[in-house]
Structure 1
Amino acid sequence: MSNADFPAGFAYLTAALKEAGHEVVGVNPNNRIGYASAADMARTLILEGLKTHQADMVGVGGLCTDFKFLRDAISIIREFDQTLPIVMGGGIVTHDANFVFETLKPDYCIVGEGEEAIVALADRISSERPVSDIPGIGYWDDTTPVFTEERREYIDIDKLPFPDYSPFELEEMMDDFALAARYLYRYPKSAPRLMTLVAARSCPFSCTFCTHAKANRRYRARSVANVIEEIRVSFDRYRFNILIILDELFAVNKNRLREFCEAINEGRTRYGWDFVWAFQTHASAALDLVALKMAKEAGCFFFSYGMESASPRVLASMNKKTRPEQLSTAIELAKEAEIGFGGNFIFGDPAETPETISETLTFYRQYCTESHVYLGQIRPYPGSRLFSECIAKGIIQDKLSFYENIDKTDYNMTTMPDKDWNHWLRRIIPALGTFALVRCVDVSAIFYDNSLAGKAITEGGRKSLWRLQVSCPFCGEEYTYPELVDEESVRAHGHRVLTGCPHCHKRVNANIPVNRDCALGDSVQESA
């Protein structure tokens, strides 16, 4: 796991606890080899952490997809010490508190944002005082779960301490495990060092598939000055070369984007910032060519919209508040500005039909094959309106089975017969996705890089770091792309790699043929 995928929530809670005077240590149960399984790795690391540090409280958390890991983690902690208080937070409990709390049985849970609640819990637990007046938590009254009043007002996010990743091996994630990040986040640099930043919380929109669509969750954006100060502190400490802004609506306001770009340019002059950056936003931002060129001049290499569908009927059903022409306009403007564009089309909304699927696939063929756009399916995650509808309609009949098999079971939320939906989902849509329509070019040279030899990311030496020299089929520029490969598999079957050209930022399928001589170049170690 790279830090691009590490949850920022842990780092924010760490900072809040430290500011309140508490000591925080962390266990990052990723990125280790030599274990029989992921479960064995987690068990070993959690027990080692518990034995090494005499904790007064243990925090765990994650999303609904982390259900089985969290169940195992709680079991391991209980095995070590049944009296050690366990606090659970994150989306998994925020969006389905009653079921998750009663099923996994931590001692406490935090519903919603956790900085204020975790500090209050730590203070009360350490002083053995009651917790019943802390807003936004769950606890046990003997064997009865009790939930306090929802926390309706949160602290001004500009007043929160910046996230603290120090207990979670951030340096290792930035260095050795940068290549574990999705290619979209790392393609501009041959030696990527990624940093993430969250510039806002929640969302003002209410898309049916999204977990943000909960009542009383007010959208709050940090000031640009506060964001820039976090960037300054992080750059001084970590010297990253790629910044990923994670919130979905970063540039929905053009004035905010302009203010940010001006501040970034000032930082380049004043502090020597040399990183590139990417952001996400909503199609209603209606970014124009002037705004995109301004962002590019400030170092932006990529932006994305929440695309979801190119069918007006499906977009209306999703409550997206967007139109297909907004998407095609953005794609064309991104090409003109020579900046990367991406997004996802997700199929399976209740309004989906063969006709609406065809609409989106036609749009994809016409506009998206050079951009970083992907095809997938909608999942009814807890907290979304779709999840509630699936429960009400009996599409999801067993919650425990749902959590235990999350992302492994397909749910037909359309009115199409299962046979017809599965035909689209398993045959037609995948046939057009990933590599199918992406411009392909053979790599022109391969260089072996031994800088990761012996490191965990090579999976015990099974994989090697190759630097692929690619000539972009669009702009003709040469670039080098780092890729971890299984040499034995490449020699037998060849290898295809999705990349982005760091010059024109279009999507490229870089192909290593089966008969490619894997020793074309000398060993190298490249810098950013």
Structure 2
Amino acid sequence: MDQKKIALVYPSYVSFTSKKSLEGTWIHHGISSIISYANKMGQKVDLIDLRQLSNWTEFENAIVHYDIVGYSILSQDLEMALKSIKINKAVNPDAKIVVGGVHVTVDPEEFIKKDYIDFIIIGEGEIAFSNIITDLMHNIIPNRIIEGQRLDLEEIPFIKRDLWPEEMATEFHGLDEPFFTLIGSRACIYNCSFCQPCTRKMFGKKERIRSPGNLVDEIIYLKKNYNLKSFFILDDNAFQNRKWLEGFIEKFEESGIDSRFMMSGRSDNIYKNRDLLPNLRELGLSYVFVGFESGSQKILKYIKKGTTVEINEKAAEELQKNGIGVYANVMFGFPIETKEDIKLTVKMIKKMKPTILSPTTYTPYPGNYLSDEYEKKGLIFQNLGNFTRYPDRPKIKGVKYLYINWTIFKLQLYLADSYSDKFKKLIFYSYLHLNIIKFYLLNYLRININ
């Protein structure tokens, strides 16, 4: 059997910067799970996190001796990933390159036509990547395109957090360090048009959930081995399954761990299970991230959210009544959205007075229903660069981005609780405003010069 040196690369778009945003510090759970599963199968896989490097020379030196190199690619990381792969092949032409991840799964054709990519995994990567390693070690050439197999999430060993030192040192809205993120499920039963069918293509239609006991066992492991002080359960729909929630409350209470934590949930599920909020608050629940998305019923219906403005407001009220902070996400930037729709969202947020407001503009990630529609209609600005979720540039033609940015700025000022915070918002949104104007100007010049 041929021994191979193997690595997985995280080609984050914030690599080589000092940016300490969530993207700059949080771990990549997909890569982590693939490494943990490979280790379980007796395969040593190293991590190369470009965010921990300073430049491309460091990457060349780090990657040159690996025989098998995997790249997990998110849409926002596409440019960085492709550049990394080309450099990888230039310094080591014999290296076998494996790509996978959400972007690869929703748009495999983009990678099939690139002859410098050896293997393409569509869907989940734990079993598929491990099988590729086994085959190559036995001098067997796998198929170039491989459908990933879905597995019981409890078959994946707990993530080795030493690989990701930055996350533990992250300060996240007052939650104590060391701070950790966890994932307890895969797949989503909902049909939001700004997300689906990407999630179904990646993880399937049926939600797979780790048992409450298994998730709490990981929290105990993190407390014992890394002195966990706070954590965030990242699952979008943590409030969906009442039986699971009750089990989590029971198991976490039995653990005796004193820790503040955060969860995510839909407004309808939070309101449906509002009687469990006091128990969760007593155990340390400090914030809930909620995708309210809009205060316009027309927009909620358009994006197929399946919730109502009334339920949004009731869910926020129940969280606040129980002393739980509301981390409110709203999304602007749809072609059918009018100034009146935007004003309705502002009205909803002002009524809620969330602890934290996370405003975004719709991002046309490849493969979701809305981006497919806008692509066919020619509404997506070309040369977007990285697909970031931030409202930092125009993305869709016909959207009032300058008005949206001005509206968000005023809303953030309204919610700011100090003059220093107001000043920071002024600087940040002034920068965004200039960035949007610059984008329109360059786009105008490009069209007219051509």
Q: Same fold (TM over 0.5)?
A: yes
1:412 CA displacement: 3.0
Q: Is the 8 A contact 1:205 1:213 kept in 2?
A: no
Please state if 1:70 is matched with 2:48: no
Structure 2: distance between partners of 1:266 and 1:361: 42
Q: In structure 1, what residue type is equivalent to 2:261?
A: W
Q: Is the 8 A contact 2:67 2:94 kept in 1?
A: no
Q: Which residue of 1 aligns with 2:241?
A: 253
Q: Which residue of 2 aligns with 1:235?
A: 223
1:410 CA displacement: 1.8
Alignment RMSD: 2.7
Q: Choose the corresponding residue for 1:174, options 168, 183, 191.
A: 168
Give deviations 1:49-90, integer Å, cap 9, x for gaps: 235xx4221112231111121122112211211110111122
Q: Which residue of 1 aligns with 2:311?
A: 326
Q: Which residue of 2 aligns with 1:438?
A: 415
Please state if 1:365 is matched with 2:350: yes
Q: Which residue of 2 aligns with 1:479?
A: none
Structure 1 residue ranges without an equivalent (≥5): 33-40, 133-138, 140-146, 180-184, 444-489, 498-528
Q: Is the 8 A contact 1:56 1:126 kept in 2?
A: no
Structure 2: distance between partners of 1:302 and 1:104: 47
1:423 CA displacement: 4.2
Q: Is the 8 A contact 1:64 1:403 kept in 2?
A: no
Q: Which residue of 2 aligns with 1:345?
A: 330
- Which structure has the bigger radius of gyration? 1
Q: Which residue of 2 aligns with 1:278?
A: 262
Structure 1: distance between partners of 2:274 and 2:378: 47
Structure 2: distance between partners of 1:373 and 1:99: 36
Q: Is the 8 A contact 1:342 1:373 kept in 2?
A: yes
1:381 CA displacement: 0.6
Structure 2: distance between partners of 1:228 and 1:406: 32
Task: Look up the SS of the partner of 2:239 in the other structure.
Answer: coil
Structure 2: distance between partners of 1:495 and 1:100: 41
Q: Is the 8 A contact 1:90 1:111 kept in 2?
A: yes
The number of aligned residues is 399
Q: Is the 8 A contact 1:71 1:104 kept in 2?
A: no
Give runs of aligned pairs for residues 121-520 of structure 1, distance below 5 A. 121-132=132-143, 139=144, 147-148=145-146, 150-151=147-148, 154-166=150-162, 168=163, 170-175=164-169, 178-179=170-171, 185-189=172-176, 192-211=177-196, 212-214=198-200, 216-268=204-256, 273-285=257-269, 286-368=271-353, 370-396=354-380, 401-403=383-385, 409-412=393-396, 417=398, 421-427=400-406, 429-434=407-412, 436-441=413-418
Q: Which residue of 1 aligns with 2:16?
A: none
Alpha carbons of structure 1 residues 202 and 376: separation in structure 2 relative to 1, 3 Å = same
Structure 1: distance between partners of 2:199 and 2:63: 37
Alignment TM-score, normalising by the size of structure 2: 0.81
Give runs of aligned pairs for residues 33-72 of structure 1, distance below 5 A. 41-51=54-64, 54-72=65-83
Q: In structure 1, what residue type is equivalent to 2:314?
A: T
1:494 CA displacement: 7.2
Task: Look up the SS of the partner of 1:338 in the other structure.
Answer: coil
Give deviations 1:348-367, integer Å, cap 9, x for gaps: 23432222222111112222
Q: In structure 2, what residue type is equivalent to 1:344?
A: N
Structure 1: distance between partners of 2:200 and 2:261: 30
Q: Which residue of 2 aligns with 1:110?
A: 121
Alpha carbons of structure 1 residues 44 and 8: separation in structure 2 relative to 1, 3 Å = same
Structure 1: distance between partners of 2:300 and 2:133: 44
Structure 1: distance between partners of 2:394 and 2:319: 34
Alpha carbons of structure 1 residues 104 and 335: separation in structure 2 relative to 1, 3 Å = farther
Give deviations 1:186-228, integer Å, cap 9, x for gaps: 4133xx2111110001211111111545354432111112112
Higher helix share: 2
Structure 2: distance between partners of 1:402 and 1:108: 27
1:165 CA displacement: 3.5
1:284 CA displacement: 2.4
Task: Look up the SS of the partner of 1:307 in the other structure.
Answer: strand
Q: Is the 8 A contact 1:317 1:350 kept in 2?
A: no
Alignment TM-score, normalising by the size of structure 1: 0.70
Q: In structure 2, what residue type is equivalent to 1:43?
A: W
Structure 2 residue ranges without an equivalent (≥5): 1-19, 427-450
Q: Is the 8 A contact 1:206 1:213 kept in 2?
A: no
Structure 2: distance between partners of 1:424 and 1:397: 18
Q: Which residue of 2 aligns with 1:98?
A: 109
Please state if 1:19 is matched with 2:30: no
Q: Higher relative CO (CA 8 A, sep ≥ 6), structure 1 or 2?
A: 1
1:31 CA displacement: 4.3
Q: Is the 8 A contact 2:364 2:380 kept in 1?
A: no
Q: Is the 8 A contact 1:42 1:73 kept in 2?
A: no
Structure 1: distance between partners of 2:352 and 2:272: 17
Give deviations 1:297-321, integer Å, cap 9, x for gaps: 1111111221111111111111111
